[in-house]
């Protein structure tokens, strides 16, 4: 990267870029099982999530990093998601697509992901964050290769 130390703002931009490109990858993967996914959009940053986090100190607030249903067809994601390992970003996005596809709750979202793609949403770390295993990640990467997205740097 030219040896120059980037200013803090470009770290944020890099996180946003990583989140955006991962979203596109997951969206194209999900589109293979649910064409409606194509219309989904990503918005990074959400005042509603921020309010929820402020109202729920501790784990409940801290693990609230994405949601849907706030704006139609939009997945809202907190900027910090761009710093998570790729398996977590993928798990979070897949879970949110499960909400979008079913209009249902937590179990229904994960059930849909499993029934449609055979991918189990796992809950890892102290925060019980959505995640997928390496096998699922490899499948997703193979699936998005065709559209020229490279998620391998997201590990
Ligand atoms: Zn929102
Ligand atoms: Zn959920």
- pLDDT tens-digit readout, 103-122: 999 999 999 999 999 999 99
DSSP state of 38: G
- How many angstroms is it from 82 CA to the middle of ligand 1? 16
Contact 49, 78 (CB under 8 A): yes
pTM score, two decimals?
A: 0.88
| pLDDT reported for residue 77 | 97
- How many angstroms is it from 106 CA to the middle of ligand 2? 5
- What are the helix (H) ranges across the chain? 8-31, 47-55, 59-62, 86-102, 106-117, 134-145
- How many angstroms is it from 95 CA to the middle of ligand 2? 6
- How many angstroms is it from 155 CA to the middle of ligand 2? 23
Cα separation of 79 and 46, whole Å? 9
Give the domain ranges of the chain: 8-145
Ligand nearest to the CA of 111: 2
Cα dihedral value 129, 132, 134, 136, nearest 10: -170
């Amino acid at each position: 990267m030219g040896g120059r130390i980037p200013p803090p703002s470009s770290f944020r931009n890099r996180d946003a870029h990583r989140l955006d490109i991962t979203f596109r990858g997951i969206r194209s993967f999900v589109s293979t099982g649910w064409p409606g996914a194509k219309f989904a959009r990503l918005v990074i940053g959400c005042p509603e999530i921020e309010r929820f986090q402020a109202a729920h100190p501790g784990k409940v607030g801290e693990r609230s990093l994405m949601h849907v249903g706030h704006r139609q067809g939009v997945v809202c994601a907190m900027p910090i998601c761009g710093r998570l390992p790729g398996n977590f970003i993928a798990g979070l996005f897949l879970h949110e697509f499960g909400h979008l596809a079913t209009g249902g709750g937590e179990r229904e979202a994960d059930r849909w992901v499993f029934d449609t793609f055979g991918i189990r949403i796992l809950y890892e770390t102290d925060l019980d964050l959505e995640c997928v295993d390496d096998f699922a990640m490899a499948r997703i990467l193979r699936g998005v290769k065709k559209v020229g997205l490279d998620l391998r740097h997201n590990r």
